[in-house]
Amino acid sequence: MIPEALAGKRIAVTGSTGFLGTALVERLLRSVPGCELVLLVRRGRMRSVEQRARREIFKNDCFDRLRSELGGAAAFEEAVARRVQVIAGDVGTDGLGLDDDGRSALASCDIVIHSAATVSFDSPLDGAVEVNLLGPTRIAATLGELGVAPHLVAVSTCYVAGNRRGAAPEIRVDESPFWLDVDWRQEVTSARRLRADAEAESRTPDQLERFAAEARRELGAAGVPLLAEKTEQRRTAWVRDRLVEAGRARAASLGWPDAYAMTKALGERALGESRGAVPVSIVRPAIIESAWSDPVPGWIRGFRMAEPVIISYARGLLREFPGVPEGVVDVIPVDLVVGAICAVAARGPLHSDGEPDVTQVASGSANPLRYQRLVDLVQAWFGAHPLYDNEGQPITVPEWSFPGRGRVQGQLARSLRLLERGERVLQALPLRGRQAELSARVEEKRELAERALGYVTLYGAYTECEALFGVDHLLDLDAAMTATDRRQFGLDPRVIDWDRYVQDVHLPSVVQHARVRTEPGRAGGESRQQRLRRQVLSSERQMAAFDLENTLIASNVVTSYAWLASRRLPREDKPRFVADLVAEAPKLLRLDRRDRSDFLRHFYRRYTDAPADQLGTDSVELLSELILTKSFPAGIRRVREHRALGHRTVLITGALDFVVEPLAPLFDDIIAAHLSVTEDGLYTGQMTDVPPTGETRASALYDFAARHDLDLDQCVAYADSASDLPMLEVVGFPSPSTPRPACRPSPASGVGWWSSGRRPPAGRLPSCPSPPAAAPAGSTREPPLGLGRSA
């Protein structure tokens, strides 16, 4: 029996934070009470390996059954502390990165189960080589250095067979008549060289200039730190894309669907050559999906290969997907894979000399699920249980016609190009209100098209695969099992009722984990907008900071200047003033896009020799005649709501202090730009400090919070453009005032950390102008605010 065979054994497991590894750890703890586990976990950036294990393994709902069987959380924690040792290590590093305690723990193990892998089908080539190809050999080499030879069970994939049709038996890769005699060492050297070459090329002046230009197009005048960060993101993404494409090309040239399958195959070959005295068994699963029964039906962790495609289909995104209707989709539930691994570990190595033996865990040859049948089951289920769109209407799923991969990729690529062109057109326009909403919708559709194209590119080869993976060794294991073993470690794919599995087990679980809308009508409960409003207006918030332009008012520094400068002009001079200002608008707009601070310095030169007292008086009228008439009532109400809750309200703006001074009763504090004044009471046109824009605005807010003992994690910031991103990023509750792509939150960011993906919209400045020429000689009219001076 398996529990008796593994009783008293110390079993090391790599990859325990992953889908398969988590299920394996749970089964061993629950069904083999006499074993102890050593979990090799990579160090995290912010957490220790023990913290990672608690958070990423043992808090998963996979352990709810065991937690209940043991009598509660306390007993579960005690059992984990007694039976599990977590050590720091990394299979992508020579020597596994073990310290002395880790080496000692590994040396004490009787069995090592290696399930760690880079499982993404679009991994950079060098990353897949380091983990998938070299990982198993590093484990064998480390065991050899420690002078031990435990049974090594290495998890691979059935798809090491490559793009082939017909039978794929359970033999070593190099025993296959289709095996190409590829030098795996040369592949390692080549992948590392590709990384070095790509990194070097990405740092050439031409490339860096291109990345910087792309960053500026996305973020505009967001400030040097954010632009530098975005430039580096562009560079690293470019390097990654080069290595991903290199992996695809190399795999295709050798007959594998992707770099994942290729590096797994080469990893098997490398392990066979360099295992030393370590006995090896290889377990090859097909496409691992949600559990058939253990720990509960439908248990899944994260989205595997099929889930994104299924949900995209249910949402109406994927109208077609490539595949062979009579072909086999070789899906295997995760609990059957875990049962097979445990059975192989309990049986021990098959060959007395330790040569690798192979067990494939697949369904296609013993209990095939045809692609047409899968599609029919999915379509029928979503016909009866549709998802709903944002309007609360049911989404009708399309009927797939099983076209070729090239046709689907071509259709999606054309759609993507059209959406990208439309997005560029919209981004060149002033974005506010409906235009901003339209831009956001177009961007969302573009992202969906990109995602769909990515799914077809990544997974199309697997739906077109016509290999049948032999499972004779797997069925031999089943035949040798007792009835009790079959209940606890079931591994026979013939027990799966595909109709029940797809419609009663897998799809309900997928929909639940996808958090998609499954009810008709308007969404019940609290909407996202209501939830965000509740969060920002919580009594726990301490401060609310507001941008001014296009956040509280539909105006800007040019409009304010134009009103002040033309107020005392004779009527006959105003058309000329406006015409000159309009003519200069493109130049001002370009300068504003390049650098907001430089623009303000340049523009505020127009106030040279303007009388400070006169501007102070005129600004009161500016408030009533311009600012209030262009204010957003909802924005003003929000300021008052924060004040009523006792939050400190701060206006932070690049506008001049005398322009916003009349707004002082609305705020507790105002942070604005200042001009120096001569002894005669005239403005010099020069600023006393760096204007509060971009990163300077963020620094000013940080310093303000420090002076007033405020916790920025409990503060709110409202702003409208990419140049305000630094301010939005320093608070816990950033609130863009418009749906502009440049201020969209990043899904990967933590609370309060928002990232940009687009440049700020064009047209922030209205078509207004430049100063007219100086008053003619002998003129008796008063020069309006020093307009005769050069700007």
Q: Give Cβ neighbours of residue 434 (< 8 Å, ≥ 6 apart).
A: none
Determine whether 403 is exposed, middle or buried from the number of CB atoms within 10 Å of its CB (0-12, 13-18, 19+): middle
CB atoms within 10 A of CB 18: 18
Nearest CA among 412, 411, 418, 476 for reference residue 442: 418
CB-side exposure of 101: number of CA atoms within 13 Å?
7
Q: What pLDDT is recorded for position 748?
A: 30
DSSP string, 376-434: HHHHHHHHHS--B-TTSPBPPPPPP----HHHHHHHHHHHHHHHHHHHHHHHTS---TH
Q: Give Cβ neighbours of residue 773 (< 8 Å, ≥ 6 apart).
A: 580, 788
- What CA–CA distance (Å, rounded) separates 784 from 677? 17
789: left (phi over 0), alpha (psi -120 to 50) or beta: beta
Q: Helices 100-107 and 134-145: crossing angle, nearest 10°? A: 90
Q: What pLDDT is recorded for position 263?
A: 95
**Sign of the torsion formed by the C-alpha atoms of 435, 436, 437 and 440:** positive
Nearest CA among 18, 175, 24, 188 for reference residue 111: 24
> Which amino acid would we find at residue 543?
M
Q: What pLDDT is recorded for position 121?
A: 72
User: Which tokens in the block code for residue 219?
Assistant: 């973020």
For the chain, 791 residues long, the average pLDDT of each consecutive 10-residue run is 94 95 96 95 86 92 94 94 95 93 96 90 90 96 96 95 82 76 94 97 96 84 80 95 94 90 94 94 94 94 73 76 77 96 95 90 93 89 88 82 64 73 65 59 71 66 77 95 94 96 94 82 61 88 91 87 86 86 85 83 91 90 86 90 94 92 92 93 91 85 91 90 80 75 38 27 28 32 30 28
- Phi–psi pair at 177, nearest 5 degrees: -65, -15
570: left (phi over 0), alpha (psi -120 to 50) or beta: beta
Q: What pLDDT is recorded for position 99?
A: 93
DSSP string, 601-666: HHHHGGGTT-BHHHHHHHHHHHIIIIITTTB-HHHHHHHHHHHHTT-EEEEEEEEEHHHHGGGGGG
Q: What pLDDT is recorded for position 766?
A: 28
Q: Is 713 helix (H, G, I), strand (E, B) or coil?
A: helix
> Which amino acid would we find at residue 377?
L
- What CA–CA distance (Å, rounded) separates 488 from 241? 44
Count the residues in the chain.
791
Domains and CATH numbers, the chain: 530-743 (3.40.50.1000)
